[in-house]
């Protein structure tokens, strides 16, 4: 969120500094508008994923919500990539025809921790242990 705010300020400064170049102003203005929308989404809907005994609740689009029952959740996978000396994680919730992907920034914590909590909550509801074995951490190439 902080990086988005810094980017917004930078884009607005560039709009002012490029007042004589119409194309640069439009480009920086569009970037500022996009960042403002993303910041508004983060402020208005800070919780992107929630879970309870019945299933998970995911945010779709700008502020829409969808409840996915545990019976529809096929897999919970953490996709890990290493690039430029950093570790990037993405949580994937496979619900049949829909796959919901969340980054650590959207979740506010490590995707691996969230996946472990989701698996624990899911197994406490009596889900099949064989399906829980399929929920793993997937390491991707560098």
Residues contacting residue 67 through CB under 8 Å, at least 6 positions apart: 54, 55, 56, 57
pLDDT over 90, % of the chain: 34
pLDDT over 70, % of the chain: 86
* Rounded mean pLDDT, 90-115: 87
What pLDDT does 12 receive? 94
Instruction: List the domain boundaries for the chain.
Output: 2-44, 49-139
What pLDDT does 107 receive? 83
Task: Output the average pLDDT for the chain.
Answer: 83
Among 112, 138, 131, 133, residue whose Cα is nearest residue 72: 131
What pLDDT does 132 receive? 43
* Rounded mean pLDDT, 111-126: 87
pLDDT digits (tens, 9 = 90+) for 19-68: 899 999 999 999 999 999 988 887 877 668 888 888 888 887 776 788 89
pTM of the shown model: 0.66
Neighbours of 94 (CB within 10 A): 17
């Amino acid at each position: 969120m902080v990086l988005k705010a810094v980017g917004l300020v930078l884009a607005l400064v560039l709009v002012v500094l490029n007042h004589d170049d119409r194309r640069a102003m439009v480009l920086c203005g569009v970037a500022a508008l996009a960042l403002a929308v993303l910041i508004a989404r983060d402020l208005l809907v800070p919780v992107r994923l929630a879970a309870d005994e019945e299933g998970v609740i995911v945010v779709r689009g700008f502020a829409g919500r969808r409840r996915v029952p545990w019976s529809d959740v096929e897999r919970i996978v953490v996709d890990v990539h290493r690039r430029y000396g950093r570790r990037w994680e993405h949580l994937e919730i496979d619900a049949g025809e829909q796959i919901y992907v969340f980054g650590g920034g959207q979740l506010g914590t490590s995707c691996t921790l969230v996946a472990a909590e989701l698996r624990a909550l899911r197994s406490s509801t009596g889900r099949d242990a064989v399906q829980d074995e399929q929920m793993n951490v997937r390491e991707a190439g560098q």
